[in-house]
Structure 1
Amino acid sequence: MDNQQQVNKAMVKKGFVQAALTAATIATFLASGTENASAHHGWSEYNNEQTLNLSGEIQNISYGNPHTTIEVKTDDNKVWQAVLAPPARMQRRGLAQGALQVGQRVRLVGYPHRSDTNEMRAERITIGKQTVELR
């Protein structure tokens, strides 16, 4: 096999490897997008005719997509799972990722979940003097 044939063979092999890597990357992207989409539940699961006004202390924070969530313990010792906005939206609206801290007091306005009595969709969060609209 002469040099030109070896170069051609190497180029073909490199092309196959690049195509396989591209296909694997696309498959991984699609699989992760499908997982996030299936984990997201619709807003119809929340009763937007019943407004909740809660105050309490943040017990836990989970930043991630599709939504940031916090656990808030109210003064009557009930722990609520509050679904907030996606992290990027909260940052655009002035609530940086580090702004929420465990132990911090917050006020939430939102809607209760229709079947999970400890979950709410937060429309607004107030931390100290800062109020952020989440939707």
Structure 2
Amino acid sequence: MLHRRHLIAAGIAITGLALSGAAPFNPAWAHHGWGSYDATKTLTLDGVVEKVDPDNPHGELMLKADGKVWQVILSPPARMANRGKAINEIKVGDRVIAVGYASKVHANEMRAERITHNGVTVELR
């Protein structure tokens, strides 16, 4: 049976982890909303994939385009596969065209609305 002092110690430990930014409390690990992207200006990136991250809740690409490396936020992997492009088909070195919106908060980050890879265009949202 837990005593009150154990509950207090656990609370202090959890608070310490949250404030330190340690996973899984780091806000970067949390799923973010789409309000932090500028939907008033469409951005098109045509580049080469440097990294593919297929993890949920959504996939991501690191795409070298326009002399920069962009973090391209994709839709959930299951949605991509259902719409005709499984994320595991995209490999490092492949050319991808991503159309979407730049982040208002993070430089070189964009939310993709659609991507084209190997001649297949997929609507992500």
TM range (shorter): 0.7 to 0.9
Of residues 12, 31, 35, the one that matches 1:40 is 31
Of residues 72, 81, 96, the one that matches 2:71 is 81
More helix by share: 1
| Residue identity opposite 1:99 in structure 2 | E
Show CA shifts across 1:46-101 (max 9, x none). Answer: 01001101100000011111110000001x32000000000110010011232110
| Residue identity opposite 2:97 in structure 1 | R
Q: Which residue of 2 aligns with 1:23?
A: none
Q: Which residue of 2 aligns with 1:50?
A: 41
Long gaps (5+) in structure 1: 1-33
Say if 2:84 is the partner of 1:94.
yes
Q: C-alpha separation between the residues in 2 aligned to 1:96 and 1:128?
A: 12
Q: Which residue of 1 aligns with 2:99?
A: 109
Q: Which residue of 1 aligns with 2:121?
A: 131
Q: Which residue of 2 aligns with 1:4?
A: none
| Residue identity opposite 1:64 in structure 2 | D
Q: Which residue of 2 aligns with 1:68?
A: 59
| Residue identity opposite 1:113 in structure 2 | S
After superposing on structure 2, the runs of 4+ consecutive aligned residues of structure 1 that deviate more than 3 Å are: none
Q: What is the Cα-based RMSD across aligned positions, in Å?
A: 2.3
Q: C-alpha separation between the residues in 2 aligned to 1:58 and 1:107?
A: 10
Instruction: Provide the identity percentage.
Output: 49
Which structure's CA Rg is the greater one? Answer: 1
Q: What displacement does 1:128 show? A: 2.4
